[in-house]
Amino acid sequence: MDIATTPTTPDGNPELADAAPAPHDPPVIRREDYRPYPWRVPTTHLDFQLGLEATQVTATLTVERNPAAEPSRELRLNGDSLTALSVTIDGTPADWRMDGPDLVLTLPGDKHTVAIVTTLDPAANTQLMGLYASNGMLCTQCEAEGFRRITFFPDRPDVLSTYTVRMTGDKGAFPVLLCNGNRVAEGVNGDGTHWAEWHDPWPKPSYLFALVAGDLVANSKPFTTQSGRVVECNIWVRADDLARTDHALESLHRAMKWDEDVFGREYDLDLYNIVAVSDFNMGAMENKGLNV
């Protein structure tokens, strides 16, 4: 039971705070109740304006009817602790409603572009799920249902999408901007911010999304695949830990070689980034192209 600092009893001793409400039981999800999601999301474009206490996310989704699912005009997007600033369908302001934490739209046709602008406070995210701040760094944890704390989305593992992500942040606070996939562009703005754009050409579920922004340095060594492609491999850490990364980098190379030798599986991106920091909330996370 928590001890409250105020109010106090007449003798000056703090009163016991009211007991916290009992936690809600988690929802029961049964395999036999599974139904395919009625919409596909072929592409997802995310634009992050990064800040420790205020981050704005613009999510642009292409959605199309799923012929393998029961038809529905309703598009239900999961959310958790998000504030929606605007919602458009094909560029036109849309009617939408909240159903608990979820945002619900009605789509008239078979294919649309849905854009949603949300804001969130990473520093206040004490659940450490979704996008959170820790020691001046921004990091994500999306497994199993953390992506819905970043933007409204069908946050379930059977919805696969190809992601393009643009990150903009203060260059002093976030000199390194990392995400899944390959870095396709980067630049500096005139207001002290810089940006990086990432593209992952392979569809993935939302729980494998990852983003890291912070003051990090890398131990780098390229890996040449069995077909002759050169993959840039980086172990990103805080500067004080750089001398401790050689073993991790060598282990990564050996693991990639082992996958080729045993399974004939060649790594399919141009970059392999690993972020190793002491304050990550999970033991490790196998996000595509950006392990944390």
Q: What share of the chain is helix, strand, coil (3-state, %, to 5)?
A: 10, 45, 40
pLDDT at residue 191 above 70? yes
Cα dihedral sign for 178, 214, 225, 270?
Answer: positive
* CATH of the domain spanning 217-276, picked from 3.30.70.360, 1.20.58.110, 3.30.2010.30, 3.40.50.720: 3.30.2010.30
pLDDT band at 20; cut points 50, 70, 90: very low
Decide if pLDDT at 273 tops 90.
Answer: yes
pLDDT band for position 3 (cuts 50, 70, 90): very low
Per-residue b/e over 203-232, b at no fewer than 16 CB within 10 Å?
A: bbbbbbbbbbbbebbbbeeebeeeeeeebb
Q: Which two tokens stand for residue 180?
A: 């899944």
pLDDT above 80: residue 15:
no
The answer to whether residue 21 scores a pLDDT higher than 60 is no
Span(s) in the chain for CATH 2.60.40.1730? 38-213
**Tens-digit pLDDT profile for residues 121-178:** 999 999 999 999 999 999 999 999 999 999 999 999 999 999 999 999 999 999 999 9
Structure tokens belonging to residue 221: 């060594």
Q: Return the CATH fold of 38-213.
A: Immunoglobulin-like (2.60.40)
The residues, any chain, with a CB within 8 Å of residue 165's CB and separated by 6 or more, are 45, 46, 47, 48, 179, 180, 181, 197, 198, 199, 211
How many angstroms from the chain centroid is the CA of residue 187?
22
> Could you say which DSSP state residue 263 is in?
H
Q: In a 3-state reduction of DSSP, which class is residue 153?
A: strand
Is pLDDT of 22 > 80? no
Closest CA to 213 of 179, 165, 188: 179
Query: Look-up: residue for tokens 């780098």?
Result: 220
Segments of the chain assigned to CATH 3.30.2010.30: 217-276
Residue 173, pLDDT score: 98
pLDDT at 280: 76
What pLDDT shows up at residue 25? Answer: 80
Question: 234-257, pLDDT tens digit by residue?
Answer: 999 999 999 999 999 999 999 999
